[in-house]
Every structure is written in C-alpha cells, then in structure tokens.
Amino acid sequence: MIKNYKNVGIVGMPPLEIIRQLNADNITIHDLDTPMIRADIELTAPYLPKVYCAILRTVVLNALHLHLEAIYIDVGPGKCDCALHVATVLEDMLAIPVIKTRNEDTTGFGNPICRTRMDLVQKFEQITEGVKTAEKSAKTPPECTPAAGFWGVPPRDFSILELFPATTHIYGWTRCMENKTPADHELELHYNPEVPTVFYAQSFCAKTALARHLALKHPHGLFLDSDVTAGGSAKAKIQAFLELSGVY
Amino acid sequence: MILGDFGTSYSKFLDLSAARPEPYIIPSKTTTVENRVTIATGHNGKRFSDRYVNELTVLARGGEQLITENDFVLLDCGSRDIKFIHYIDGRLNDMGWNSECGASMGFTIELLARYYDLDYHVLPVPDRPFSVTCGVLGMSRIFDDVVSGTPDAEAVARFVMGIAINAYRFAGSPTKLYLSGGLCDNPLFVQSFPCQVVPLGRFVLLEGLKAIARKDSNPQNSKAQRH
C-alpha cells in the first residue's frame, strides 16, 4: 500500500520505522510543520480557530495546497495533544489517509549540529530537514564552546534565529529532533545554566508553560513566545537580552 | 553629536555638541529629514539614523546610569507600548516588551484628557480600577460606565488606575518601581500604582543613548558603571 504513494506529508516526527520505509520506497516526504506555501494563513480559518498554534495552522495550510497521497501525523508524547485534534480535522477535511502514529523511539542519534559553530538558521534548517531521513549523517561537525543558548521547538518564523551568534547551542525539543527521540522528556528538559538562554515556544502551544518555567529556573534565561511571525518587540527582546548578557 | 529618542507621540533630542546640552522635545508628527541624528532609538528611530539601538537596550543603559541600586525594576510607559527591565546584582534578570496588550496605553490616556477636558493633576485617585488590558479595550469600559451614570472624571480615573495596575503586574509586581516616560508627569497615573514609584522622567532613553555614545567613542571603557 505504502509503495503506491509518491508524495506524503508528515507532521511532527513519525517513528523511524515509518521514515525508513518511506525512504526505502523513494517516496517524497513533505514536512508539513514548515512553511511551504506562499498563501495567507487565514485560509485555515474555516478549519482551525484563529487563535491556535501557528505550526499546526501551517500544517493545515500546507495540506490544503499540496497534492499529497497520505499524511503521517505523530500524536504521541513527542508531539502534542493539539496534533491529535488536528489529525481529526485533517481526516474530515481531506480525502486521503491520515495515519496517526506514536513515536516513542529511544535510540539516540546524537546532537552534534545542536552543539557546533554554525549559523543558527542553517542549524535549524539541517535539523528540520533531517526528519525526512532515517539515516544518520555521515559528517559529525565539531563541538564549540557555547556563547548563548536557544531552547525550544523550531520557530514558525526563522528570522528570530538570525539574531543569535553562530556559537549558540540548541536545547529543548529541537535537540530531541536531531537525536530522533522526540518523546525524550529528560533531554527536552536539559539546558546549560552557564550560558544566557532564550526559552522559546510558539504562542498558544502547551510548551509555553515549560519554556516559561525553565526560563525562571535558569539563572540567565529569557522566556519568549511568538505567533505566525515574530514582531519587532520579540526581536528587540532577543537583541537586548543577548547584548545586555554580554553575548555581543 | 545629536541623540534622538523617536517615540510614537513625541521625539526627544539631546545635542552633545552644544555648550550646555539640554534635552528638547517636539511632536513626532512634526519630525522631518532635518531631524536626522547620530544615534537613534524609539519606535520611529530607524528612519532617522544609520545607527539605531533598540529601546530595551537603551532603557537598560539609561537605568544603569540613573539608578544607584544593584537590584531594580525600571518600567517605561510610552504612547504605544510598555517595557521593563529587572536587574539583580547589577545584572539583567528579566525584561519584557508589550506592544500588543499594552497597546496605545499612553496615547489613550492623553486622548481621554483632551476629549473629556480633564486635568490629571487635580483628579483624585479612585477607590477601585477598571480591569483593563489595553488602551483600546479599556475605552469601552469608560463609555459603559458613563452611560450608567458614573461621572466622566471618575470613569477616566478608574481607567487610568486600571492601566497602571496592568503595567505594574506586567513588570512583575515589584515593591519599588522606577518609572520612565511621559506618564511620569501624570500624577494620577503615578499615584495609581500599588507600590512605591520613583519617576525618572521622560529622558531616560536619552541617558541610555549618552552611555552608548560614550561606549562607541571609547570601546575600551565599555563596561557600565556599576557598583
């Protein structure tokens, strides 16, 4: 059945076994969590509340425009309750199979990209691109000493990442992503108290509670949330935080 | 060297090359290309300088210059937004900038005084506030109360108190608050805070720009003068 597909969408991180099968069958994987369509996100209003996680609104926007033959959507502890409900919406919205998965993979692939010296946007691009493959990267970039930290999920708007130095280490769920263990809550909780860290979550996401909590625990943390696009005040907070923390 | 704080309603300037530098203010709607400065901050600042520093950074630098304690909360209430910095042991501990839910706060307070012909210097602090989250949403509370018989002045005073309490909570409900911005000159607003308030006036950001200008001209001596 799966071999008949040419284009499938994924939401969150479906289990490695599924990604491996899709790779083996040369099926093109579209990561629906990332902005892929130049269309107004308000087109999702008939399907989702306007005040809702921008990542999941993006999923619906992508699903409305891409010609997909199936969607694998992770609804396990490595994603969120909202994804479970969006899966139901997608099932009623689309005439294609919407397959719910629960990724509880525990085999760690490591997280060298999170800890290397590289433009932060590029790091996030490589990590998010990595969800489409079951293979471990042949290259292991060297670790650098961190000057700053970014904890959280890949933001809907990558432009906030441009403000960080290349020596920023990544923590939180993005580190779990690179490690291919999205449900590893212990890894998600990890941060480095020695480096000034921005604790980021999408507005209206349940992870805002954790991001804010950890920012309060961290000796030098800043909680930040943003919706579809990051406004000037969000960017100014990051700039000021990094400058006043002595990062720049 | 001219420094400029280009706010939404008012723009503040300081000419460091003057014999006796004194800050001056003009309405922002009257600014032109003639008002270009060496270093700028504020909502409109990017249009008027090649060297722009964001307001939170400038607020922090101004606070470092004007406040002698190592632990402090400094809240800036502007026309369109509110922002705060919180220092502990001379280091940044927390900060916030609210341009959405704090929207149009100062602007609305000034607008109401004109509309109802009120003087905030003589309005008494009300017994209780309105529960308001921002200037725009709070306006309807005023109109509702006026329609139901509350005097204009009392309804507006409750609104102003609600705004002050909202800003106080946003800044983390400190026991002592340093206040920056044009609302320092509004006694009703200042007295409506449920904590000790130390008004620093509307030129705190210019003080911050001065510190940044010094750092630019002498990068070796870039550390803030902390205690």
pLDDT of residue B101: 57
Spell out the domains of chain B, with CATH numbers in brackets: 1-53+204-227 (3.30.420), 68-199 (3.30.420.40)
Is A233's CB within 8 Å of B99's CB?
yes
CA-only gyration radius of chain A, Å: 18
pLDDT of residue B134: 66
Q: What angle do CA B224, B56, B214 make, to 5 degrees?
A: 35
For the four alpha carbons of B51, B96, A244 and A232, in that order, the dihedral sign comes to negative
pLDDT of residue A118: 97
Single-letter code of the amino acid located at A177 = M
pLDDT of residue A131: 95
Check pLDDT > 70 for residue A46.
yes
Close Cβ partners of B150 (under 8 Å, ≥ 6 residues apart): B158
Is B56's CB within 8 Å of A232's CB?
no
Distance CA A95, CA B198 (A): 63
Q: Which of A25, A24, A34 is nearest to A66 (CA)?
A: A34
Is B99's CB within 8 Å of A231's CB?
yes
What does DSSP assign to residue A235?
H
Distance CA A52, CA B25 (A): 42
ipTM score for this prediction: 0.77
Per residue in A114-153, pLDDT (tens digit) is 999 999 999 999 999 999 999 988 888 999 999 999 999 9
Alpha helices, DSSP H, located in B21-130: 55-66, 105-116
List, as one string, the DSSP characters of A200-215.
EEETT-THHHHHHHHH
Average pLDDT over chain A, rounded to an integer: 95
pLDDT along chain B (227 residues), means of 10: 92 94 94 94 91 95 96 92 93 84 74 93 93 74 90 94 91 96 94 97 96 85 46
3 state SS of A29: strand
pLDDT of residue B226: 40
Distance CA A195, CA A145 (A): 10
Single-letter code of the amino acid located at A140 = T
Check pLDDT > 80 for residue A38.
yes
Segment A196-218 shows an average pLDDT of: 95
Using a CB-CB cut-off of 8 Å, the residues of chain A touching B94 are 222
Mutation to test the B interface, candidates A51, A229, A242, A243, most B Cβ within 10 Å: A243
3 state SS of B15: strand
List, as one string, the DSSP characters of B172-206.
T--SEEEEESGGGG-HHHHHTSSSEEEE--TTHHH
Spell out the domains of chain A, with CATH numbers in brackets: 2-101 (3.40.50.11890), 113-244 (no CATH)
Is A236's CB within 8 Å of B94's CB?
no
Distance CA A65, CA A62 (A): 5
